[in-house]
Amino acid sequence: MSFMIDDIDYIQQVYRELKAEVDEVEMEFENTVRVYRSPLRQALNDITRLYNSVNNVKGDFSGFKNVSVYVHGIESNGKQFLESAKKAAQPGDVIMREMRKGKNEYFVVNEDGGIKKIAEFEKLRLKKEFKNKQGRLHIVYDTEHKNEHRQETSDDVAKRLTEMGLVNEATKIDLFAHSYGGRRFFQFAMDYPDQVRSITTI
């Protein structure tokens, strides 16, 4: 009986070792695919920017010159960074939190420093803080997945900022990141050095 138990333990040990090796190979394969896919996604973003420039296509947030983008660490979300953005925001600023599954939150900072939540984007458009675009735009970005690969995050952020009309010569982006989010944003800064003014990591 003891021999059978030993055999079972040995088989389970071998299984765990093989599974770990397979997981490692899968991760290496996924990372390699992302590395080769990234230039293609960058090229698509560049084509989109060129098309928008030639055809004068504006994104929803075109016109903001100073933009702060916040990204959280691994196994987290942007809730804490949203509170940090609110504390850092000045009168005239606009705050947006882009959450997973396409949900967004919007806020404006009044002249007296009070922060007001706006129910939807169409109502945000009507606010003078949004119309004037003299303040800073704060974007708290939740990655699509908790432990998303840094190249994936860089590509996703670039695509989203391009859609919003914020990847251009006039707009300068300040990046704020926590933990693994810093690695994600360093990748974005390397991919789009002309758009990034600063990176702050904690």
CA distance linking residue 93 with residue 109, whole number of Å: 5
Query: What's the pLDDT score for residue 197?
Result: 94
Q: Is the pTM value of this prediction over 0.95?
A: no
Count of C-beta atoms within a 10 Å radius of residue 98:
18
Whether residue 153 contacts residue 161, with contact meaning beta carbons closer than 8 Å, is answered with no
Query: What's the pLDDT score for residue 23?
Result: 67
Query: What's the pLDDT score for residue 26?
Result: 63
- The residue ranges of every structural domain in the chain are 66-201
| 57-85 CB burial, b ≥16 within 10 A, e <16 | eebebebbebbbbbbbbeebbbeebbebb
**Token pair for residue 196?**
């990034």
| Of the candidate ranges 55-64, 120-129, 132-141, the one whose mean pLDDT is the lowest | 55-64
Mind listing the pLDDT tens digit for each residue in 92-114? 999 999 887 778 999 999 999 99
| Of the candidate ranges 76-80, 81-85, 128-132, 133-137, the one whose mean pLDDT is the lowest | 76-80
